[in-house]
Amino acid sequence: DGGITQSPKYLFRKEGQNVTLSCEQNLNHDAMYWYRQDPGQGLRLIYYSQIVNDFQKGDIAEGYSVSREKKESFPLTVTSAQKNPTAFYLCASSIRTGGSTGELFFGEGSRLTVL
Amino acid sequence: GENVEQHPSTLSVQEGDSAVIKCTYSDSASNYFPWYKQELGKRPQLIIDIRSNVGEKKDQRIAVTLNKTAKHFSLHITETQPEDSAVYFCAARPGAGSYQLTFGKGTKLSVIP
């Protein structure tokens, strides 16, 4: 069953702790993305990667880090430097090949709460 | 960078009526405009999209129109049904070679039975 899987679905963290959110896809997509969703704020891009071992900052990258060691995986680390980390995080993937519309396929999201 | 404004933020309609959501974008080089629907507790999913070389696209009860001169595009839903209730996001993608989408802030549509 092809798709994009995020884990964990819910995560609680104490202030000052780093936490890593997992994102795995078996769609053979080149590009992967992390978005943050806050009420009334839409979807804001944190980081994206168009190819293995390469990634770029999005609009709100401060306090976050990523890696792309495998095509299938794009984990996001929320560091203690992120001042307001409580949010819903969505991972997505898309085909990168020219001519494609680049439709985003989203995971089910991870809800992070900082206590 | 690209900036996408979406209105209204909330919209309530009676079942069977039409709903219209409007978006404006800032980058005249943007060439692709998708709409995503996110039902409560679920992931966003693409429902319709339009490229800059087309003025209108229709898929059953939903349609999207694009005015490149004015830099705005709209989602039209006719004969609304309760299952249309969701948050709708518009987005724009800057020119060729970019796969980065900039999203609007979303419209919460409620269809009242």
Tens of pLDDT, residues B44-54:
999 999 988 88
Give the best residue of A38, A43, A108 to mutate against chain B (max B CB count within 10 A). A43
pLDDT at B34 > cutoff 90: yes
**pLDDT over 90 percentage in chain A:** 74
Q: How far is A18 from chain B, CA to nearest CA, in Å? A: 25
Q: Which among B84, B93, B98, B86 is positioned nearest to B16, based on CA atoms?
A: B84
Q: How far apart are CA B74 and CA A86, in angstroms?
A: 32
CA B88 vs CA A47, A51, A73, A102: distances in Å: 22, 29, 28, 18
pLDDT at B94: 79
Question: Residue A100: which pLDDT band, with cuts at 50, 70 and 90?
Answer: low
Q: Which tops the pLDDT comparison, B95 or B43?
A: B43
Chain A residues touching residue B51 (CB < 8 angstroms): 101
Over residues A67-90, mean pLDDT? 95
CA A103 vs CA A67, B60, B91: distances in Å: 22, 20, 11
Q: How far is B70 from chain A, CA to nearest CA, in Å? A: 23
- Contact (CB, 8 A) for B36 and B48: no
Burial (CB count within 10 angstroms: exposed 0-12, middle 13-18, buried 19+), residue A44: middle
Task: Give me the residue from B34, B43, B93 closest to A108, CB to CB.
Answer: B43
